[in-house]
Amino acid sequence: MGKDKTTILVTGASGQLGQELVRLNDDLIHVIGCGREQLDVTNLVQCREVVSEIQPSAIIHAGAYTAVDKAETDVDEAYRVNAIGTRNLALASREQGLKLCYISTDYVFDGTSVLPYNEYDNTNPKSVYGKSKRAGEMMVQSLSSHYFIVRTSWVYGQYGNNFVKTMLKLAAERDSVSVVQDQKGSPTYTLDLARFLIDLIKTEAYGIYHATNAGACTWYEFAQAIFEEIGSPIRVEPCSTSQFPRPAPRPVYSVMDHSAIRQNGLQDLRHWREALTDFLKDRAI
């Protein structure tokens, strides 16, 4: 007897992660992607209508206000999308009895730790973006009964703009590049993250998860690895965060411990360097 297809509604379908998720359609999973044009998450009536019409078994809420620096002055809009929009989906999913997976961020932490952040460590966001994403987490926790909150960081992939693509462009244009060496985190390949999310929502192991590629590095070390992989002679000069002041504070240390993945017996994401190698190989094909 054939298995029924699981239908998953993905918000933010035109973003880096959203596009990756939509590509994972197979015999068992039917992914329906909604960009802002198809679903304005800030509109509660529309959220209810679309969810009711599609009748998914789960929603992966990857849509977000992600302009980290702009959010410092565009405060209301950041909260409208990241908090109110998430509330709307939490309500719509609860009313239909659906699973809701909310994609969150390392920015919910203040970055002052010297040890990887556990899922249950206190959050203390310093930027408007981080605060608005934490508000979204709170909406999910208080309004949804079947939820996954997945915090990730330093995301890159085939779609949209990201650090890896920027470095590849600079390698073709310059002899040297300055990269911040006093921020440490974990790069995350969207394909690995998307596969993990699909596996996660098939379970009922609800709660908060930290999901990044394994291992950690500084942005400077990440840039060095990219250039090594492509055999570029470009020089990488280390610099400090203070040399590149930006409106929104970045977490200095945002490495996250994957204790929930281990405790729930799930498959962890591979090492970031291995993921980077594959990403660059796929791009070259």
What's the confidence (pLDDT) of residue 134? 98
Is 117 in the active site? no
What is the share, in percent, of the chain residues with pLDDT greater than 90? 94
Q: Which residue has the tokens 């996660």?
A: 200
What's the confidence (pLDDT) of residue 75? 98
* Structure tokens given for 82: 């990241």
Fold of 6-162+187-214+254-270: Rossmann fold (3.40.50)
What's the confidence (pLDDT) of residue 2? 43
- Selected residue with higher pLDDT from 191 and 282: 191
| Residues paired with residue 104 on neighbouring β-strands, in sequence order | 151
What's the confidence (pLDDT) of residue 26? 83
Catalytic residue among 79, 129, 189, 253: 129
Give the mean model confidence (pLDDT) for residues 256-264.
Answer: 98
Q: Which residue has the tokens 């504070």?
A: 249
Give the tens place of pLDDT for each residue, 34-57. Answer: 999 999 999 999 999 999 999 999
Is residue 246 classed exposed, middle or buried when 0-12, 13-18 and 19+ CB atoms within 10 A define those classes? exposed
Q: Do residues 128 and 66 make contact, with C-beta atoms less than 8 angstroms apart?
A: no
What's the confidence (pLDDT) of residue 5? 81
Per this entry, what is the length of the chain? 285
What's the confidence (pLDDT) of residue 285? 59
- Phi/psi at 107 (nearest 5 deg)? -70, -5
How far is the C-alpha of 60 from the C-alpha of 13, rounded, in Å? 10
Give the tens place of pLDDT for each residue, 91-142. Answer: 999 999 999 999 999 999 999 999 999 999 999 999 999 999 999 999 999 9
The yes-or-no verdict on residue 1 having pLDDT over 60 is no
The yes-or-no verdict on residue 247 having pLDDT over 60 is yes
Chain centroid to CA 237:
28
- SS3 labels along the chain: CCCCCEEEEEECCCCHHHHHHHCCCCCCEEEEEECCCCCCCCCHHHHHHHHHHHCCCEEEECCCCCCCCHHHCCHHHHHHHHHHHHHHHHHHHHHHCCEEEEEEEHHHCCCCCCCCECCCCCCCCCCHHHHHHHHHHHHHHHHCCCEEEEEECCEECCCCCCHHHHHHHHHHHCCEEEEECCCEECCEEHHHHHHHHHHHHCCCCCEEEECCCECCEEHHHHHHHHHHHHCCCCEEEEECHHHCCCCCCCCCECCECCHHHHHCCCCCCCEHHHHHHHHHHHHHC
Give the strand pairing for 176-180 and 155-156. Answer: unpaired
What's the confidence (pLDDT) of residue 27? 81
Give the tens place of pLDDT for each residue, 77-90. Answer: 999 999 999 999 99
Q: Do residues 151 and 106 make contact, with C-beta atoms less than 8 angstroms apart?
A: yes
How far is the C-alpha of 256 from the C-alpha of 228, rounded, in Å? 25
What is the share, in percent, of the chain residues with pLDDT greater than 70? 98
The yes-or-no verdict on residue 279 having pLDDT over 90 is yes
How far is the C-alpha of 59 from the C-alpha of 200, rounded, in Å? 12
